[in-house]
Amino acid sequence: MAQNKEDFSDISPYNDSVFKEKIRNLVKEPGFIHALNYAVPPSDVPVLIEELLKIDNTYDFQHQIMFPFLEMLAKTTTSGISLGGIKNYQPSMNYTFITNHRDIVLDASFLNLAFLRKGLPTSEVAIGNNLLVYEWINDLVRLNKSFIVKRNTGLREGLFAAKHLSAYIHHTLLEKHESVWIAQREGRAKDSSDHTQDALIKMLALSGEGTFMERLKEINLMPVAISYEYDPNDYLKSKEFLLRRRNPEFKKSQRDDLFSMETGLMQFKGKVHFQLTPRINAKLDQIGNFRDVSTSARCACRIIDQAIHRSYQIFPINYVAFDILNTTERFASQYDENTKIEVEDYFNAQLDKVDLPDITKEERDFMMEMMLVMYANPLKNKLKTILGE
């Protein structure tokens, strides 16, 4: 295969030649210092800055700074992070890990933590430029092996950006010999019903050689199912559903996005599980090529969705939500009465955090229904995939 000569410096992670310079600039940023004071005890910040200034490469940054930070986050905000399906991972191979999207920051970070714990290489991470609201955030994520997905561009610029991103992902796997992580859709599924976007699969196949399916196979797509016991942003999503119901034109602000990132990072998530599934190349071979790209993309999406839906870890809260939502006791064997009361108390306590004036009882009931829907949907989709319901 011919070497890709395209310049990716506008979107790629920073390489080690500029690492020290970028770190020196980063630790002078008031916003970064403020974030550090929020994330770690303020008395530890001077020592951490000293440690940062000694580092001159990505590997050491991830192992000496990010690894212990993520372990601290896992210890304080989860009941444990588990990784299943490791038999599907061959260390000699690079993958495009494609996952459902629950948390803006932690989906890829906790997956990389699970790899670090096993001594496996971390992946490069796709992050939308809409989240890079300050220059120091752009620098921080690119020091930490993230590459940029350009969004909100015009039509012509959007097509160029998609081709450029696709070329970069192929280049990363085939020439840099690194794995990448990308979410199956732009933005999180607010109702936790996870489905892969056709446009994303089409983008991935813009680069590479051969037919549409051959170009997809080139990047070893591996679906990964992410299951969080609790979503710290559940009440913010319910609030957003209500605001959209009140005003269909409602759009979140940058401040809303930052608060969602902060809430997802620092609040309790319960158990977190990642399930690696087989790469989809064999299934792409089975279905073969179609004449049109849209049909090919839809079929690839279906394969990814089924792998993710089948592989969710289902928690008691999901069973309770499903039964309440559907007025059934179908899964009553999966929880006891105390658990059901605890779940209902949790939902009510989360909804009490919604800071909107004049919420009517009917609106509160609507938000409760949306809360139940987002916790029931992983189970609903799993049943649909396994049992054909």
What pLDDT digit, counting tens, does each position of 195-227 carry?
Answer: 999 999 999 999 999 999 999 999 999 999 999
- Report the pLDDT averaged over residues 347-371: 97
pLDDT of residue 244: 96
Q: Which of 26-40, 164-178, 193-207 has the lowest mean pLDDT?
A: 26-40
Separation between Cα atoms, residue 31 and residue 37, nearest integer Å:
10
pLDDT of residue 311: 98
Separation between Cα atoms, residue 281 and residue 274, nearest integer Å:
20
Higher-confidence residue of 309 and 155: namely 309
What SS3 class is residue 148? Answer: strand
Q: Pick from 196, 191, 169, 193: which is nearest to 300 by CA?
A: 196
- Report the pLDDT averaged over residues 119-130: 95
Q: Name the β-bridge partners of 228.
A: 272
pLDDT of residue 5: 75
pLDDT of residue 388: 83
Confidence of residue 114 (pLDDT cuts 50, 70, 90): very high
Domain with CATH 3.40.1130 in the chain: 16-230+268-313
Is the C-alpha dihedral spanning 223, 224, 229, 233 positive or negative?
Answer: negative
- Report the pLDDT averaged over residues 328-346: 98
Asked whether 368 and 351 are in contact (CB, 8 A), the reply is: yes
Separation between Cα atoms, residue 154 and residue 389, nearest integer Å:
41
pLDDT of residue 2: 52
Confidence of residue 160 (pLDDT cuts 50, 70, 90): very high
- Report the pLDDT averaged over residues 118-129: 96
Residue 73, pLDDT above cutoff 60: yes
**How large a percentage of the chain has pLDDT more than 90?**
87
CATH code for 16-230+268-313? 3.40.1130
Write the CB contacts of 351 (distance below 8 Å, at least 6 apart in sequence). Answer: 235, 238, 364, 367, 368, 371
Question: What rounded mean pLDDT belongs to the chain?
Answer: 95
Is the C-alpha dihedral spanning 166, 204, 131, 265 positive or negative?
Answer: negative
Separation between Cα atoms, residue 111 and residue 92, nearest integer Å:
18
Q: For the sheet with 124-128, list strands across it.
A: 81-84, 272-276, 221-228, 96-99, 180-183, 124-128, 146-149
pLDDT of residue 3: 58
Separation between Cα atoms, residue 131 and residue 33, nearest integer Å:
18
Separation between Cα atoms, residue 112 and residue 181, nearest integer Å:
9
Separation between Cα atoms, residue 283 and residue 285, nearest integer Å:
5
- Report the pLDDT averaged over residues 270-274: 98
- Report the pLDDT averaged over residues 285-298: 90
Question: pLDDT tens across 74-90, in order?
Answer: 999 999 999 999 999 99
Q: Which of 43-57, 151-165, 306-320, 368-382 has the lowest mean pLDDT?
A: 151-165
pLDDT of residue 40: 85
Question: pLDDT tens across 244-260, in order?
Answer: 999 999 998 888 888 99
pLDDT of residue 253: 87
Q: What is the DSSP string of 215-261?
A: HHHTT-EEEEEEEES--TTHHHHHHHHHHHHH-TT----HHHHHHHH
